[in-house]
Amino acid sequence: MGTSKRYDLLVIGAGIIGLSAAYHIKENHPDISVLIIDRHAAPGQGDTAKSVAAIRDTFTSDVNRTLARSSIDFYKHIQFETGFNLNLELVGYLWLLNKEEVKAYEAIEADMHEQGMRLRTVERNKLSELIPDLTLDPSSEQSNLMGLKSVEKGLHGLDCGTIAPELIVNFYDAELRKRGVEFLFGAKAESIRLGAKQSFGLPGEPFVWQDKLIKEIQTNQGPFSAETYLVAAGIGTAQLLDPIGIDCMIKPRKNSVFQLRGTSLERLLATKGFNEQNTTPFTILPGGRIYFRPVPKERSIWAASAPGLGQPFKLEEEPSADESYYTQNIYPVLSEYYTCFTNLRPVNMWAGSYDVNSLDGTPIVEKVANCIVATGMSGSGIMKADAVGRVATAIFDDKEEARLFGDRKLSTSRLGLADRSVGKEEFVI
Ligand SMILES: Cc1cc2nc3c(=O)[nH]c(=O)nc-3n(C[C@H](O)[C@H](O)[C@H](O)COP(=O)(O)OP(=O)(O)OC[C@H]3O[C@@H](n4cnc5c(N)ncnc54)[C@H](O)[C@@H]3O)c2cc1C
């Protein structure tokens, strides 16, 4: 297809980040022409659709905290004040901590209280009273072999929960269409043509000594051009930008989710004492790697593990989940701590790929020439998307400070690469 029409803004990637950025830019500039392209057939079909979509405000770095808190507040605003349902459920996060983790988190916990995060301690006896299916002291031969440790206490994050990313996507999609933004699906950006800002029409341009700009992107549907390009292509970002020498510092890392269902999970799904929904919170097992999300509407639980040592950084265009990953890595631990998972096999499974910023695990929003890059969500892009979109908007507007939801401010350079300052995140799942 292609078009000779030149857009003011061309967004590559209709995931939650590209949509959020386009939404806020268009809010600020109702008259500009915007085209959003995506290789999939509809918006939000990349990582956004694969997410476990848990959201939390409990971060130790003020940047992460600000990004997450303001985005969660925006989602609350959309759901509770405008009436557009996002299935936002503040079911809480429950960290089950072993002895070493209790010690390691002591200072962090105190700091988070000071920063206004609502975290409550759930003592061991209370945990067994509220969650009869939980084994506090796994002691079977298998548990000993795996080195599973006793649960010393629970930490319950109250302003945390879950959301439906597809509904956030629907919200942005509807609002963008209302504002005249164009979409083109099934359009894969294949390469980017860089040119000289001031061209002499010489073969071999742009030369080292010339200022450069993106002139055009080539897609399977022909070329498209714009004044400004916004690349929010998730794990596809590096593939597009590496060839033109923009280093976005990300690596892809697969993550799989397993859906479990069975009558033995009913009591867990109907846990009282944590939230209004009377369900078990989003739960992180001791050791911090294996977690599960209750999905009461589906009468199911989604289980996954946080990627780490042993899991490769590798690009897979369409990653798929493998049941043996569940059987060998997740099930043995899950079923020792929670007997109600015993003998359950996944009824469904899927996989996505984190765009991991391997430097500090925090989003990157940077402008190079006429290209804004928004990437490096590192597994927490749903909970930070609104704020990331607003930072991209401030950069589009050449502003040094982004105004986030709830009158919060964030200096745009903090997420950039040149003057990056994101602090250390110590509360990582
Ligand atoms: C298993 C799993 C669990 C997760 N759990 C959570 C969680 O609990 N909480 C949380 O906040 N986050 C979570 N995340 C992370 C979250 O899903 C992502 O951070 C977020 O969706 C990133 O959004 P995005 O728009 O950057 O990427 P994407 O949603 O991947 O969007 C990028 C888009 O770009 C398109 N694209 C790529 N390359 C091209 C190209 N060359 N041409 C055209 N289009 C292209 C893709 O089709 C895609 O639609 C999880 C992710 C996974 C995989």
Q: What is the gyration radius of the CA atoms in the chain, in angstroms?
A: 23
Per-residue pLDDT at 21: 98
- For residues 340 and 219, is the Cβ–Cβ distance under 8 A? no
108 phi, psi to nearest 5 deg: -60, -40
The CB of 284 under 6 Å from ligand 1? The reply is no
Atom of ligand 1 nearest to the CA of 350: 1
Per-residue pLDDT at 51: 98
Residue 4 reports pLDDT greater than 80: no
Residues 56-108: tens digit of each pLDDT = 999 989 999 999 999 999 999 999 999 999 999 999 999 999 999 999 998 88
The CB of 18 under 6 Å from ligand 1? The reply is yes
> Ligand 1, atom 2: nearest CA belongs to which residue?
51
- CA distances (Å), origin 221, targets 188, 225, 238, 290: 8, 13, 21, 42
Residues 401 and 411: their CA atoms lie apart, in Å, by: 4
DSSP three-state, residue 189: strand
Residue 288 reports pLDDT greater than 90: no
- The answer to whether the Cα torsion of 163, 154, 253, 72 is positive or negative is positive
Terminal Cα distance for the chain, rounded: 44
The CB of 373 under 6 Å from ligand 1? The reply is no
Enter the pTM of the model. Answer: 0.97
Residue 1 reports pLDDT greater than 90: no
The CB of 53 under 6 Å from ligand 1? The reply is yes
DSSP three-state, residue 99: helix
- For residues 278 and 270, is the Cβ–Cβ distance under 8 A? yes
Residues 202-225: tens digit of each pLDDT = 999 999 999 999 999 999 999 999
The CB of 259 under 6 Å from ligand 1? The reply is no
Residues 134 and 152: their CA atoms lie apart, in Å, by: 12
How large is the average pLDDT for residues 226-251?
96
C-alpha neighbours within 13 Å on the C-beta side of residue 293: 23
How far does the centroid of ligand 1 lie from the alpha carbon of residue 397, in Å?
25
CA angle 405-410-416, nearest 5°?
125
The CB of 47 under 6 Å from ligand 1? The reply is yes
The CB of 352 under 6 Å from ligand 1? The reply is yes
